[in-house]
Amino acid sequence: MGRVTGTSGAAYIVIADDGRTFRCRSFPGTGSGNPDASLVAVGDLVEVQDTPSGTEAHQGIIIRVEPRTSALVRKRDPRRNRSREKQQVIASNIELLVPVVSAYEPPLTTRLIDRYLVFAESEQLPVLIVVNKMELDRDGQVRRMMGVYHDLGYSVCYVSVYDKSGIAELAEALKGKISAFSGHSGVGKSSLINLLTGCDLKTSRTSYKTRKGVHTTSNATMHPLPGGGYVIDTPGIREFSLADITRENLRFYFREFLQFMPECGFSSCTHTVEPQCAVRNAAEKELIDAGRYESYRILFDALEEVE
Ligand SMILES: Nc1nc2c(ncn2[C@@H]2O[C@H](COP(=O)(O)OP(=O)(O)O)[C@@H](O)[C@H]2O)c(=O)[nH]1
Ligand SMILES: [Mg+2]
Ligand SMILES: [Zn+2]
């Protein structure tokens, strides 16, 4: 057995259980435990047959791909997806979703965090929010902004690549798991992964200012952690398919709404315009954070009405 950790041209990089690295190809007979989705994706567990290469490099053929326990699926361009194209998988078998944001440059926005949390709730993925560049939070404002997430019971890890604070705690939280890092360009994902794994990923000084195009060709890459487990560098959430999130189910992904929902006047309450809405009422009384309620409204408005 081996783990697909990246792609190289048409080949897949597979790290075998014994630690050897193989360049592998699939073939028409490659067995799949995941019908209707990409045949091979980063994170997949695969069975590999060694093929003699005549050189030092190990080569193999992927005989079988194991069923995935989870998958990050790429958003599809509707103009190019008229037929029944397969689900394009960015990364698979993720055990922890790690939205990475930064205290400044780019500035922290809770709107983006809420998007990630909704996504994680909809996929039932455990989530760890990482706030990098914390050495820039001299007046504690960023920590105050993050208070709402502590109150909701989400895990938050404050780190700084520059002064190394919080890095040991983060390493501990990632140990033994397959984690997917995702976030805007420039927040420090590559810098963090380098620090955690000893890799030498390219970091960039100004990428967040020229956000457009930065992620367009990026594939996920997976990096082993010294204490066991892997970190996968994935594109930002704008690349993820949110097709499973609808106006109907969005309300269930704001966990603090749940206790108020039974009190709404209508059982089908959307918590937007209805009279006697207990959720909106709770937001007005500040029992629900105003920013969280605002995020709900913005996401609700952005979602297509269900047919
Ligand atoms: N001030 C500060 N800058 C950081 C920190 N970590 C990374 N950076 C800088 O942020 C920029 C973007 O980092 P990079 O790792 O390429 O971000 P990525 O686009 O998310 O992969 C680079 O200039 C880094 O040097 C940090 O903890 N504090
Ligand atoms: Mg990067
Ligand atoms: Zn309501």
For the domain covering 250-302, report its CATH number. Answer: 1.10.40.50
**Is 306 a residue whose pLDDT tops 80?**
no
Ligand closest to Cα of 100 equals: 1
Question: Nearest ligand to the C-alpha of residue 272?
Answer: 3
Q: Is the CB of 194 under 6 A from ligand 1?
A: no
User: Six-digit token pair at 240?
Assistant: 């993820």
Residues facing residue 23 across a β-bridge? 13, 59
- Give the ligand 1 atom nearest the CA of 203: 16
For atom 14 of ligand 1, the residue with the nearest CA is 188
Q: What is the pLDDT of residue 78?
A: 60
Of 199, 203, 206, best ligand 1 pocket probe by most atoms within 8 Å of the beta carbon: 203
Residue ranges of alpha helices (H) inside 69-188 are 110-123, 141-151, 167-174
- Superfamily of domain covering 2-68: Nucleic acid-binding proteins (2.40.50.140)
SS3 state of residue 11: strand
Residue 189 in contact with ligand 1 by CB distance below 6 A: yes
What is the per-residue pLDDT across 190-240, written as a single tens digit (0 to 9) for each? 999 999 999 888 888 655 555 544 444 468 999 999 999 999 999 888 888
34 in Cβ contact with 65 (< 8 Å): yes
- For residues 240 and 232, is the Cβ–Cβ distance under 8 A? no
Ranges of CATH 2.40.50.140 domains, the chain: 2-68
Residue nearest atom 8 of ligand 1, based on CA coordinates: 188
- Which among 144, 101, 150, 97 is positioned nearest to 256, based on CA atoms? 150
pLDDT per residue as tens digits for the range 54-109: 777 889 999 999 999 999 998 876 666 555 557 899 999 999 999 999 999 999 99
Phi, psi of 301 (to 5 degrees): -65, -30
Q: How far apart are CA 41 and CA 54, in angstroms?
A: 27
Distance separating alpha carbons of residues 117 and 109, to the nearest angstrom: 13
Please enumerate in sequence order all residues whose Cβ is within 8 A of that of 193, keeping only pairs 6 or more positions apart, or say none. Answer: 181, 199, 201, 223, 231, 233
What angle in degrees, to the nearest 10, is found between the helix axes of 290-302 and 110-123?
70
205 Cβ below 6 A of ligand 1: yes
| Paired sense of beta strands 58-65 and 31-32, if any | parallel
**Residue 66 Cα, ligand 3 centroid: separation in angstroms?**
42
Outline which parts of the chain fall under CATH 3.40.50.300: 90-239
- CATH number of this structure's domain 90-239: 3.40.50.300
What residue spans in the chain does CATH classification 1.10.40.50 cover?
250-302
Centroid of ligand 2 to alpha carbon of 184 (angstroms): 9
Average pLDDT of the residues in 152-175:
98
Q: How far apart are CA 66 and CA 266, in angstroms?
A: 45
- Looking up tokens 């950790």 gives 5
Ligand 1 midpoint to CA 9 (Å): 28
Global confidence as pTM: 0.92
